[in-house]
Amino acid sequence: MTSANWLFLTGMMGAGKTTVGQRAAQALGWRFVDLDQRIEQEAGSSIASIFASEGEAAFRARERAALERLLTATPPSPPSPGDSPGTVLALGGGTFVQDGAADLLRSHGPTVYLNVPPHELVERLSSPEAASRPLWGDAEALEALLARRHDRYLTADLTIDAAGLEPGAVCAAVLQELGQISALRGFDALKVELGSRSYPIWIGDGGVEEAAEMVGLQLGALDDRPSQLFVVTDDRVAPLYLQAFEERLRRGPWRVSSVVVPEGESSKSLDRLGQVLTALLERQPGRRDVVVALGGGVVGDLAGFAAAVMLRGVRLVQVPTTVLAQVDSSVGGKTGVNHARGKNLVGAFHQPTAVVMALGMLQTLERRQVSSGLAEVVKYAVLDGEPLLEELEGRAERLVAEPQQHGDLVARCCAIKARVVADDERERSGSRVTLNLGHTFGHAIEAMGGYGEVTHGEAVALGTLLAARASRVLGLARSPSEGQLELEGRLEALFKRLELPTEPAGYLRQGRQMAGWMKQDKKAQGDQVTLILPVAAGDVRLHPVRTEALPTLLEQLARGSQGG
């Protein structure tokens, strides 16, 4: 995508083009121009006076000339240092629908229609000031005018249904939708569709400063802007990024402070959660304030849970800095900590306001952490099907060496998860449960190692292999095409190339202990554990196993791992 340097807002009188445009320009750091106000300045007369003395045709000629002067007078992209990088232009209600205007505007940047129903427009135009608008008469006339223009308005690049929304919410929707068709400050946007709780996933090639700018843009567009931002990070990320991140955030109209926790899975505990909450509460937060999770999966889970329970819920922005967090854990609203009885057993669903991913921050990852995150990418490939799996097989070594160069895979994984979360946010219909492929075995492996022997991704890799093996042992796996390895063999080869472990025999030899941990899995119901088993790439099944049968199944898998 190319970056836009113009943003055009169109719609009926009363739709909020000026108010939303000013808010969008402020959030973007762009200049704002109201076309009607520019015409009045040039003519030295009000729009109503021009209509009265010259007629609508003459006004439209003035309008077109003013528009063309604006478009040709603004410096082309890229701007000179110190110049505003772009312009938000609020059009007159009739500008966009004139012959040739839409094409002219689109040649310079995206066009956005703010769609407001007639009855709401009438309410907005009921003030005495609205009486001076030349085409405002009464409700019937307004509805007829909208009916004539509506189809033309709908040809805009984006339509935002602004009915009942405050200007900040409309502005946030405009920026979010804009990011899906045109790179915004170097970031493209995906969207997690959850109705009024929908949120963007911003993915860009930049680094920490660009990530902070996008966080500020997102929060600056809100009607109820926070007065405080609380950055939660760990003692590995903090020396690398925290100072620059905070300095850039402090350019906004809020106070910024931070809480730093120890790196690693040990921080996902109730004790550490209590310490974080104490540190945050000492700063007297309000419900408008925002927790910003800057780090990997542990930080995202911990900070997200703190945001979920503090003051019964404050807003959250996820800024993931690892492959694993970017492709998986930062999206979807799962937050929580571990318990003595198992992993992630204490937590809450708490969707973020936004997720901001700066791929440049992956350059400082240790190689083992890169590989760990790629295990989740393989999981998504198994869920999605052959094309993505073959893509990974085609560039495995490059993924480990240069994770920041593969934003397309990050976006594909996020798109898969966004789709599943929109369909089954709280794991009630079954589709989101499939995202736990490899995790029932994997969580048990993590617990057996004391949450330190293997990383989460390494455990997921072993767990995914065991799920594929279980599918074969139980007779569910589909026979491969001629000349192709069975899925288990393909996954083992791929995990080796991604520098991930592929031999779970040591854990399987402790089958009863492993079965005990699997019984604590969140997907266990009564005397059954539901395993997610891949039949083939793109085809997984939910397979219930009685808990008393788990040791026997693990013995079968152990024999399989030894070539039996």
Say how many Å lie between the first and final Cα of the chain, rounded.
Answer: 52
Provide the β-strand partners of residue 122: none
pLDDT at 129: 57
Share of the chain above pLDDT 90, in %: 74
> Which two tokens mark 343?
């992993």
Q: DSSP alpha helices (H): ranges in 438-478?
A: 439-448, 456-473
> Which two tokens mark 104?
């002219």
> Which two tokens mark 40?
């009045």
Task: Kindly state the average pLDDT of the residues 483-489.
Answer: 82
Comparison of pLDDT for 264 and 430, the residue scoring more: 264
pLDDT at 80: 45
**pLDDT digit string (tens) for 6-59?**
999 999 988 999 999 999 988 888 899 999 999 999 989 888 888 888 888 888
Closest CA to 308 of 331, 267, 336, 274: 336
Longest dimension (CA), the chain: 94
Check whether the bond before 78 is cis (ω within 30° of 0).
yes
Look at domain 424-561 and name its CATH class.
Answer: mainly alpha
Q: Do domains 6-181 and 424-561 have the same CATH topology?
A: no
pLDDT over threshold 60, residue 84: no
Closest CA to 200 of 37, 106, 317, 320: 317
Q: Which residues are catalytic?
A: 312, 334, 376, 417, 427, 432, 436, 439, 443, 456
Across 483-508, b (16+ Cβ under 10 Å) vs e yields eeebbbebbbebbebbbbbeebeebb
Hunting for tokens 């085809």 — which residue is that? 539
Residue 361, φ and ψ in degrees, nearest 5: -75, -10
**pLDDT digit string (tens) for 198-244?**
999 999 999 999 999 999 988 988 888 899 999 999 999 999 999 99
CATH of 6-181, one of 3.30.1330.200, 3.40.50.12140, 3.40.50.300, 3.30.230.70: 3.40.50.300
DSSP state letters, 120-180: HHHHHTTSGGGGG-TT---HHHHHHHHHHHHHHHTTSSEEEE-TT--HHHHHHHHHHHHHH
Task: Kindly state the average pLDDT of the residues 111-137.
Answer: 75
DSSP state letters, 44-100: TS-HHHHHHHH-HHHHHHHHHHHHHHHHHHSPPSSPPTTS-S-EEEEPPTTTTTSTT
Q: What is the CATH number of domain 187-365?
A: 3.40.50.1970
pTM exceeds cut of 0.75: yes
Burial (CB count within 10 angstroms: exposed 0-12, middle 13-18, buried 19+), residue 72: exposed
pLDDT at 562: 39
Contact 303, 232 (CB under 8 A): yes
pLDDT over threshold 50, residue 525: yes
Contact 19, 32 (CB under 8 A): no
Closest CA to 91 of 113, 72, 76, 107: 113
Domain boundaries, the chain: 6-181, 187-365, 424-561
**pLDDT digit string (tens) for 359-413?**
999 999 999 999 999 999 999 999 999 999 999 999 999 999 999 999 999 999 9
pLDDT at 521: 82
> Which two tokens mark 80?
């000179």
Crossing angle of helices 270-281 and 297-309, rounded to 10° = 60
Within 8 A by CB and 6+ apart from 431, the residues are: 420, 423, 424
Share of the chain above pLDDT 70, in %: 94
**pLDDT digit string (tens) for 129-146?**
555 555 555 778 888 889
pLDDT over threshold 50, residue 79: no
Within 8 A by CB and 6+ apart from 332, the residues are: 192, 351, 417, 421, 425, 432, 435
> Which two tokens mark 112?
């956005």
**pLDDT digit string (tens) for 296-344?**
999 999 999 999 999 999 999 999 999 999 999 999 999 999 998 888 9
